[in-house]
Structure 1
Amino acid sequence: MDRDTRAETVAVVGMGAVGTALAGALAAAGHDVVACGRRPLDRIEVTDGTGADAVTSTYPVRWVATPDDVGAAALTVLATKIHDTPAVADWLAALTAHGGHVVAAQNGVDHVERIGPLVTAEVVPALVYTNVERTGLGAVRTRRTDRDLVVPDTASAEPAVALLEGTRLAVERSADFRTAAWRKMLTNVSANPITALTGRRVEVLTEQPVAELAMRVLREAVAVGRAEGAHLDDADAREVLAWLQALAPGSTTSMLQDREAGRPLEHDGLTATVVRLGDRHGIDVAANRSLLALLSAVSP
């Protein structure tokens, strides 16, 4: 293990791209990782980087098929898409029957409100910045950024945060998590819809007409975030777009991967949230509303 952290049993619900990447990091740190889901897995494969510099590592996991087969876990990682959360309520109830912590590695800005009623555990939101691409069942490719996870800097989250910090992940603590969540929301409501609708990876955001559209989307989301209590301004919109444009070539988004695979898109928890809250606060969100209409039309 990278740090002096006692090995724990960690259950991962949602073994998609993000869930598999986090499972790999936790297994590499010596934890007993339980993969929860329908498809059998006894090992996972994580490739860091691309080309000649890529390094592939394989880690063992324990697979359980139903909530009846799993006991309580010290830590549960929830890595499903927002709209799939209700479908795993039985898993969450079983895993948190005796308390513990749930790391909600999901998009959105309402992790605690959305997941809290489903568990008897402390919900710790985690904003995922690592760019992860699923390459097969139990296999992912990661493109590391300047940070991997952003988590709340609170005493109640400490046990889960300490466990995550004992891995190879770069974990950043935020004292103003509301603002941090909205900053992450900015990346999601711009890059996700535009890549999914164009069928192209993040390089599309460097093209001038697309960049101008992304900036309109971002400025609307900044206004909504400020109305919701986040400390954001126009500089945040510019910085987020610049960060997205500087991502490694070939970086993808979760929504583009879902569209390519014919899966439902996560627009209701992202773009629709900006539109709904914008309407509540009387903010013009025309660009986000247009993207939402198109996403609704193409989502299975």
Structure 2
Amino acid sequence: MNVCVYGAGAIGGLIAARLSATGIAVSVIARGDTLQSLQQHGIGLTEDNQTRFYPVTAISAPDNLGVQDLIIIAVKQPSMNPVIKQLKPLIGEHTRVLLAMNGVPWWFFDGLPGAPADYLLNTIDPLGDLREFIPSHQVIGCVVHLAATARSPGMIQLSMGNNLIIGEPYGAPSEPTLRLGKLLEKAGFNVKISPRIQQDIWYKLLGNMTINPVSALTRATADRILDDPLVNQLCCKAMREALEIGKLIGCIVEQTPEERNVTTRKLGAFKTSMLQDVEAGRPLEYEALIGVVYEIAEKLGKEVPYIAALYGLIRQLDNSQRQTD
């Protein structure tokens, strides 16, 4: 089986290490210090207070790999589009592409019963051409419910959780998705195969679309955000707007915003990924988390003032950060 992982950060590195541990030959596309570390040592993975290294073939570009059976993309949305356009030589008729990313993907409306007629999402697919590079019937969506960090280039630490939800845009899983589920289970993950992966994406989005931008704007950890009654209330109101959008497109979430925030608060004083990106001076992953929600609301003719305010503010922060850089 030919497996290629693009993105050897926390999630991509974790999946690559676990697959390598099962004996599968894994290629990893990386760059800079990460590429050098992988070539010298393999991927280091720390879990249960033990660190082990797993062999991978680390390369800087996909040119000589040939067609793959499975491609795993684990990069953030600002890097997603150029990455996808580099992978066309790796994709054959039977290739499946697992997208382990936060937020709403470009194929979100494909196969969704409540999708509007205008199914293109310009915030994350501005040229409307990503389906030309990865046809939607070859996509396997992946919702990640675990916490891992890249402590240094090529060194991954699993902090908590172990759950992956996978599924196809068009609903019921096909045989390749069922096989992938078994492979990921063999690699040590708790895997759920979803009949409607868009609903699972929307569920996770509800927390990310508020806590992430608020943390970036305030530089506050999640506990401080949720312990402030005014900020907590702001998050809840934006989440209620997203819940209403979800009902209209067939992604119904039964959990209330208050219940969701109680669950998040139990995770303690963690820094969101967007806050970490602000501190590191990296581009912010806001379009897939909140920009696209605002775009969907516009397509449906729904007023979403709290989502609009968060979107406008985080967009300005990103613009300011890019100008500073």
TM over 0.5: yes
2:224·2:269 contact (CA, 8 Å) conserved in 1?
Answer: no
The residue type paired with residue 127 of structure 1 is V
Note if 1:136 corresponds to 2:155: no
Give distance in 2, aligned partners of 1:191 and 1:47: 27
Residue 47 of structure 1 is matched in structure 2 by 46
1:205·1:244 contact (CA, 8 Å) conserved in 2?
Answer: no
Residue 3 of structure 1 is matched in structure 2 by none
Residue 5 of structure 1 is matched in structure 2 by none
Residue 149 of structure 1 is matched in structure 2 by 164
> For the aligned residues, what is the CA RMSD?
2.2
Give distance in 2, aligned partners of 1:264 and 1:54: 32
CA, structure 1 residues 215+81, in 2 after alignment: closer, same or farther (shift >3 Å)?
same
TM-score, normalised via structure 1 length: 0.86
Q: Which region of structure 1 is more displaced relative to structure 2, 83-92 or 9-18?
A: 83-92
Alpha-carbon displacement from aligned partner over 1:239-275 (angstroms, at most 9, x marks no partner): 322221122x353322222212111111111111111
The residue type paired with residue 253 of structure 2 is L
Shift of 1:101: 0.9
Residue 261 of structure 2 is matched in structure 1 by 241
Note if 1:96 corresponds to 2:99: no
Give distance in 2, aligned partners of 1:72 and 1:218: 41
TM-score, normalised via structure 2 length: 0.80
Give distance in 2, aligned partners of 1:179 and 1:205: 26
Shift of 1:93: 0.9
CA, structure 1 residues 33+239, in 2 after alignment: closer, same or farther (shift >3 Å)?
farther
2:96·2:140 contact (CA, 8 Å) conserved in 1?
Answer: yes
Q: Which region of structure 1 is more displaced relative to structure 2, 76-85 or 148-157?
A: 148-157
Alpha-carbon displacement from aligned partner over 1:170-218 (angstroms, at most 9, x marks no partner): 1112223222111011122022112222223322343133322221121
Shift of 1:17: 2.1
2:178·2:193 contact (CA, 8 Å) conserved in 1?
Answer: no
Give distance in 2, aligned partners of 1:200 and 1:140: 25
Secondary structure of 2:107's aligned partner: helix
Secondary structure of 1:291's aligned partner: helix
Residue 122 of structure 2 is matched in structure 1 by none
Unaligned runs of 5+ in 2: 109-124
Shift of 1:111: 5.0
The residue type paired with residue 165 of structure 2 is V
Residue 119 of structure 2 is matched in structure 1 by none
Give distance in 2, aligned partners of 1:119 and 1:196: 32
Give distance in 2, aligned partners of 1:118 and 1:238: 40
Residue 112 of structure 1 is matched in structure 2 by 107
Shift of 1:45: 2.0
Note if 1:272 corresponds to 2:272: no
Give distance in 2, aligned partners of 1:261 and 1:163: 35
Partner residue of 1:37 out of 27, 30, 42: 30
CA, structure 1 residues 269+230, in 2 after alignment: closer, same or farther (shift >3 Å)?
same
Q: How does 1:1-300 map to 2 (within 5 A)?
A: 8-39=1-32, 40=35, 41-42=38-39, 43-48=42-47, 54-112=49-107, 116-119=131-134, 122-145=138-161, 147-152=162-167, 154-156=173-175, 157-207=177-227, 208-233=229-254, 235-247=255-267, 249-299=268-318, 300=322
Give distance in 1, aligned partners of 2:235 and 2:247: 18
1:38·1:65 contact (CA, 8 Å) conserved in 2?
Answer: yes
Give distance in 1, aligned partners of 2:160 and 2:295: 32
The residue type paired with residue 38 of structure 1 is R
1:183·1:236 contact (CA, 8 Å) conserved in 2?
Answer: no
The residue type paired with residue 184 of structure 2 is L
The residue type paired with residue 84 of structure 1 is S
Alpha-carbon displacement from aligned partner over 1:116-166 (angstroms, at most 9, x marks no partner): 431367110000111122222112332223x52111251252232222222
Unaligned runs of 5+ in 1: 1-7
Secondary structure of 2:52's aligned partner: strand
Secondary structure of 1:142's aligned partner: strand
Count matched residues.
286
